[in-house]
Structure 1
Amino acid sequence: MFGKKKQPPIKSLIAQGSRIEGNFTFTDGLRVDGEVVGDIHANPQGASILVISESASASGEIHADHVIINGTVRGPVHAFELLELQPKARIEGDVHYKALEMHQGAVISGQLRPMGEGEEKPTLKLAANNG
């Protein structure tokens, strides 16, 4: 259902122990294992994927097509295609999504705001607990 499009490659990494202060723009894919203090924006031309790992934290707005979070985000999240919240995801801010997959244990302190055309309901998928 969600895997119909080929994901862009992850070409950039903010490594654990690294800290970036300021806004960050990327193309294709970005994995954050460190800390970002500022907005993270995918280049609007082409598909994008952003991974916030368990060890990562981000403070600022996030904008990407496919967003996978297993760390801490303080600020609004805008996932234009799919938002995946892994078990250790912690979000303090409103979440805007077209489709949402949320694992047990993920926490959102903010509002869920579906992006949709007209009055259609967004796609929600309950993640299976694989024990």
Structure 2
Amino acid sequence: MKLRGNRQPERLDPNTTDTLIGEGSVFEGKIKSEAGVRVEGQITGDIECEGDVTVGEKGMVHSNILARNIIIAGEVHGNVQAKSKLSITSKGKLYGNIVAAALSIEEGSIFEGTSKMSGGASGSKTIAPGMKETAATSEAADAGKKRPDQDGDNVYKTW
């Protein structure tokens, strides 16, 4: 970024897509971006983004992803954290854990992992009927967690 005089560098708009890993491209390494990132090719390495991250239908990602909003239409192997909303489209595949304020998983998608809702503004969770999931909303996601006994004796039991 060029600076002239005492001017501060201009901050990129997180609502724009500034970085594109195009179809047929392979990228290895960490990406940090103030604007949005779109992946149509392959990437191995973490993605940290102030804006939105979109993994297109042909995108293949082996990364942990941290972004404002995340849309998965391709395949992701890694943990994802959306400050606002995570959406997995009907063709999307996520093999990893989720932390998000809002979650939308369409019918036909694949999600293998656990999900945790962070205290976002909406706190909503949408899971379409018939979707393929292994642990997102099932009791298996709670295996090994402890909770107070229901009869009030303050004994924690594994459930």
Give the alignment's TM-score, normalised by structure 1.
0.81
Q: Distance in 2 between matches of 1:88 and 1:112?
A: 19
Q: Distance in 2 between matches of 1:91 and 1:67?
A: 12
Q: Distance in 1 between matches of 2:46 and 2:33?
A: 11
Greater Rg over alpha carbons, structure: 2
Moved over 6 A (4+): none
The alpha carbon displacement at 1:122 in A equals 2.5
Number of aligned residue pairs: 116
Closer, same or farther in 2 for the Cα pair 1:8/1:121, shift >3 Å?
Answer: closer
> What's the CA shift string for 1:84-113, capped at 9, x where partnerless?
110111111101110011111111110011
Question: Structure 2: any 5+ residue segments left out of the alignment?
Answer: 1-13, 130-159
**CA RMSD across the alignment:** 2.1
Which residue among 2, 14, 17 is the counterpart of 1:10? 17
Counterpart contact for 2:101–2:122, Cα < 8 Å = no
Alignment match, 1:4 = none
The alpha carbon displacement at 1:116 in A equals 1.7
Alignment match, 2:56 = 53
Alignment match, 1:36 = 43
Asked if residue 106 in structure 1 is aligned to residue 113 in structure 2, the reply is: no
The alpha carbon displacement at 1:28 in A equals 1.5
Alignment match, 2:124 = 123
The alpha carbon displacement at 1:18 in A equals 0.5
Asked if residue 65 in structure 1 is aligned to residue 72 in structure 2, the reply is: no
Q: Distance in 1 between matches of 2:32 and 2:90?
A: 26
Q: Which structure is richer in relative contact order (CA contacts within 8 A, separation 6 or more)?
A: 1
Specify the SS of the correspondent of 1:125: strand
Q: Distance in 1 between matches of 2:117 and 2:108?
A: 21
